[in-house]
Amino acid sequence: MISNEHKKHSDIARPSLGNFGRNEFAIVGTTCGNIQALAGDVMKALSPKYKCAYIDAEHSDKNDALKSQDAFVKYTDKISFRELQYKNEPDKFQFHQLFNETDLILVNGNHNEAAAQIVVIDKVKEASLLKRVKQLNNVQLILLNDNVDGIFDFVKQAVPGWQSLPMLSLYETSNIIDFFQNRLTKNLPVLNGLVLAGGKSVRMGFDKTSLEWHGKAQRNYIADMISPLCSNVFISCREDQREAIMGYETITDSFAGLGPYGAILSAFRSNPDAAWLVVASDLPLMDEATLQYLADRRDASAIATTFESPFDGFPEPLITIWEPKAYAILLSFLAQGYSCPRKALRNNNVHIIKAEHPEKLMNVNTQDELEKATALLQTKISSL
C-alpha cells in the first residue's frame, strides 16, 4: 500500500502548452471557408516575422494513398514545401513536438479544440456553436458576422465577462491581425540570465570563475553585468560551489556530466517558459554594450539569437539567448547522443549576428590566454 505522502514521480516544471503548442487559438462559430480565409489573412500578414501554423481537417473525399501503400510514415518533397503523413493519429505529446517551433497556431474550431478561442457570431452556424458552447473556456476575441445584430444569449451565459472582451467585425481584417500581433508581443517569453560557472577549469589548473579582473569574482561580475537585461539572474554551478557563491541565486546542474549543455538544460528544467541569456564567466573583455547589442537584436521566432564567433565563424553558444522552444530541441539532440550546444545551433533555425567589437567575445581557458587577456585589459586601462 502506498501512503498518501508518497510521490511516485518527481515534480518537474512543465512548459505552458495547449493541445498543440504555445499561443494556440481555435476559431469557432462560422463556416470552415470563413475560418480558412481569416487564418490565411492572418498568417500572410504575420509570417514574415513569426512562424505560423494552421490546423484543420480534410474537406474532400480523396483516396488515402498512405493507407494503400501501408506506410507508417510517408515523407514527400513537394519542392516548394515538404509533407509528412502519419498512419496513426498523433497524441498531444507528439503534437507538442511537431509544433514546438511555431509562434502562433490557428485552429479550425469546427474540428479541433485549442487552449484559447476566437468566437465568431454567425447566424448560419448558431446551432453548431451551441453544440460547442462547453469548449468556450478561454475566449479572447469576439467577431461579428454581418448577418447578426449582437451576441447570442447562450454565448453571454457561457462566457463570463464577455462585455470586457475585444469585439470586431469578422471583416475588420487589419484589426484582427493587430489583435494577434499584440498577443504575440505580450506573450514574449521573459528573459532570464544564466552565468556559466560550473566547469572544473581543468586546462587552467584553478577555478577561473573566481578570477578578479574587475575587482570581484568574474562570475559575479558577469551576473551583475547582465542583470539590467534580465528579469532574474542565476549562476550555474556545481553543488560543491554553492557555499562560495554568496548573494546570488544559483542553479545547480541536474544534468550532470554534460558541461555547458547540461547547465543550459538545467536552467530550462527550472523554468521552461523563460528565455535564457547564457553567458560564460570566462570573458574578461565582455561589456554591457556587447550584451545590449545582442538583446536588442533578439529574434524570439528563432530557437536562439547568437553571435558569430570571430575565431572560427561558427555560432557562439555560450553568449546566446536561448528561446523556450530550444529546450525540446536540446533534449532531442541529447536523446540522439549529442551534447554539443554549438551543434544544436548549427543544425537549427538560429538568428546569428556579428559583434561590433569581436575581441569582446574572447574567452580564457589556458594560462597563455590568461596572459593575453590580462595584457589586453592593462592596455585598455592605460588608454582610459
Residues 147 and 34 occupy one common structural domain: yes
pLDDT of residue 350: 97
| Closest among 153, 97, 85, 94 to 121, alpha carbons compared | 153
pLDDT of residue 366: 61
Domain membership of residue 6 (yes or no) is: no
Question: Cell 536523446 appears where?
Answer: 335
Ranked by mean pLDDT, the top range of 68-72, 76-80, 367-371 is: 76-80
Residues 226 and 365 placed together within one structural domain of the fold: yes
256 and 367 share one domain: yes
Q: What is the pLDDT of residue 44?
A: 97
Final residue of a structural domain among 151, 186, 221 = 186
Closest among 184, 275, 185, 196 to 232, alpha carbons compared:
275
Residue 82 lies in a domain: yes
Sign of CA dihedral 130, 131, 133, 138: negative
DSSP 189: P
- Digit-coded pLDDT (tens) for 101-143: 999 999 999 999 999 999 999 999 999 999 999 999 999 999 9
CA atoms within 13 A on the CB side of 218: 22
pLDDT digits (tens, 9 = 90+) for 327-337: 999 999 999 99
Q: What is the mean pLDDT of residues 154-175?
A: 96
Within 244-304, residue ranges assigned H as helices are 259-270, 288-296
Domain holding 131, by residue range, is 24-57+66-186
Q: H helices of the chain, where?
A: 32-46, 65-69, 92-98, 126-131, 153-158, 173-186, 218-226, 259-270, 288-296, 325-335, 341-346, 367-383
Evaluate if pTM is beyond 0.85.
yes
> Does the residue 42 lie in any domain?
yes
Show which of 154, 186, 218 is a domain's final residue.
186
Select from 138, 163, 186 the last residue of a domain. Answer: 186
Q: Which one-letter amino acid corresponds to residue 206?
A: F
| φ, ψ at 243 (rounded to 5°) | -65, -30
For residues 79 and 169, state if they share a domain: yes
Task: Yes or no: say if 270 and 249 are a contact pair by the CB < 8 Å rule.
Answer: no
Residues 195 and 225 in one domain: yes
For the residues of 82-107, what is the DSSP string, one character each?
EEEEESSPP-HHHHHHHTTT-SEEEE
pLDDT band at 80 (very low <50, low <70, confident <90, very high): confident
Flag whether pLDDT at 206 surpasses 50: no
Which among 144, 97, 94, 153 is positioned nearest to 122, based on CA atoms? 144
Radius of gyration for the alpha carbons in the chain, expressed in angstroms and rounded: 25
- Is the pLDDT at 74 greater than 60? The verdict is yes
